[in-house]
Amino acid sequence: MDYFTLLNLNREPFSNSPDPNFFFQSRQHLDCLQKLELALRLKRGLNVVIGAVGAGKTTLGRKLFKKLADDDSIDTHLILDPSFDAPQIFLETIGTLIAGSSLAGESEHGCKEKIKQHLYEKGVEHNRTVILMIDEGQKLPLFCLEILRELLNYETNDAKLLQIIVFAQEEFRAVLDRHANLADRVNLIHYLGPMSYADTCRMIRFRIGQSSDHPDLPDLFSRPALIGIYRVTGGYPRKIINLCHQCMLALIVQNQRRVGWRLVHSCTQRTLVAGPGSRRQIRPALLTGLTTLVAVIVIATLFSSQWLTVAGNFLNGRRPEYESASPVEARSTRPVVVPAASVSREKPDSHSLETAPEHKEPTMKSVTPGKPPVLLGRVTVAPGDTLGKMITTIYGDFRPSRLEAVMAANPQIRRADDIRVGDTVVFPAVPVALNPPPYPLWWIKIFEATTLDEAFRHAMRRSRNDPARRVISQWDPNMGMQHRVYLSRFFISSQDAEIALAELPAEGGHAAEIVSVWPAEALLYSDPLLGKGR
């Protein structure tokens, strides 16, 4: 059982992941967000956000990214780790993001020309705004800064063709001071500092509110506790989150209803939140060992076995294992599968969909039926594999939230671009909510696998002229987990699906099928509508 469910919350309020839904609009963060959005829409070029470690730069960036993603006239791209080894790699990365296809093999000059061409096409001919967001900007090598300066030269008479935002730690100030030619091109520099005491209190209450569906928020922190948290953390969001997380765990361990000053006092000794960024540390407790011993005795006598597991992990300093998000409800429609040998040439109407024969489910099972899985499975890295390619094939597209979920499930991977042949990558099971259109659609299923690794390998095993493929995994309470490979695109008419089916090469006895709609009782882990229709 998760600790937050014991407190009548529906999700963890103090997760250290940069979830934009938990972005607290303090005065300075809201001011920064508004200034950045205005600068981007005016196409002013280079903007820089500088702040100490844990000041909230990454979460602010995710919030801005999510907000801009809703605007169809804006193309937003994100580089999480700019530790590039050579100018060519940096240019290829930017070019691939902007062009939508790989620029591998292009010369340095060729990459710049391709980038310039696509920026002009999008910005001038299609009137789109292209944005490049770079996190951890203090890691940018000097040659990357020079390339960014050159890209800012691509402009029209009244606007820059590429908008750049760099989120960096405080040492980036010195970089700008040493490179006046780049500093002169900066349109906006915003410095993020620690929050005030009032904003600290509001942020804690806001995160608890985001984790609860009840109109009356639980009052989990006393005023002395809030004062203690502020004095220890100095108002830095990450330190506040880490300390509050430990306080919530201790709240359960010690069977208390509210976090008080003494609990904050005790948890401070177990964390590293107090340091150079704090304004004043709380005096160390004299009886911490005795307090812990008493807590263990209380747990042993009052808590159930599930609570003992939570308490034991806390006292031993072990972090909780990664868990997937709560399952979401799939669309309520009946399954319809048309075998390849008996495909109808007539486009079915709504009545024929309702009365079509039931889909005969495959017999293979990879998990115990009846309980949704935590993981989709594991994939062994082969030559040519990248994490981006894996995520796109398995989840249907690539987005920061998916990358963060995979990175969280694989703590051994330090950088997204640093996976090696033979490594094993775990993929979490995060169901998707489906929004079916009011008209029928068709898909072509070409393979069924017993494992995620087998499905991924089959999707990758195609010649240059073969149509693109993707994996769609689904879990059924009766059949368990099923991994299937489909063509990446879907079809808006049965005739088009039949033509595509007839053009497919025979594959070792695996009969392809035309599939329409998805079973109501199943959870899908990739949205079928992410493909391109035809």
Predicted pLDDT of residue 413: 86
Domain residue ranges of the chain, discontinuous segments joined by +: 3-9+196-315, 27-192, 336-530
Burial of 456 (C-beta count, 10 Å sphere; 0-12/13-18/19+): buried
Q: HSE on the CB side for 389, CA within 13 Å?
A: 17
Predicted pLDDT of residue 22: 87
Residue with tokens 């820089």: 48
Q: What are 180-216's pLDDT values in tens digits? A: 888 999 999 999 989 888 899 999 999 988 888 776 6
Q: How confident is the model at residue 509 (pLDDT cuts 50, 70, 90)?
A: very low
Question: What mean pLDDT is predicted for residues 367-381?
Answer: 80
- What is 27-192's CATH superfamily? P-loop containing nucleotide triphosphate hydrolases (3.40.50.300)
Cα 354 from chain centroid (whole Å): 37
Predicted pLDDT of residue 467: 83
- Quickly count: other Cβ atoms within 10 Å of residue 284's Cβ: 10
Written as one letter, the residue type at 313 is N
Q: What are 134-163's pLDDT values in tens digits? A: 999 999 999 999 999 999 999 998 899 999
Question: Rounded CA gap, 418 and 422, in Å?
Answer: 12
User: pTM surpassing 0.75?
Assistant: no
> How large is the angle between the packed helices 261-268 and 223-233, nearest 10 degrees?
30
**Which of 15-24, 312-321, 450-459 has the highest mean predicted lDDT (pLDDT)?**
450-459
Which percentage of the chain shows pLDDT scores above 70?
77
Structural element, H or E, at residue 237: helix 237-253
Which percentage of the chain shows pLDDT scores above 90?
33
Tokens encoding 425: 């990558």
Q: What are 18-61's pLDDT values in tens digits? A: 888 888 888 889 899 999 999 998 999 999 999 988 899 999 99
Question: Rounded CA gap, 500 and 383, in Å?
Answer: 30
Predicted pLDDT of residue 135: 94
Structural element, H or E, at residue 191: strand 186-192
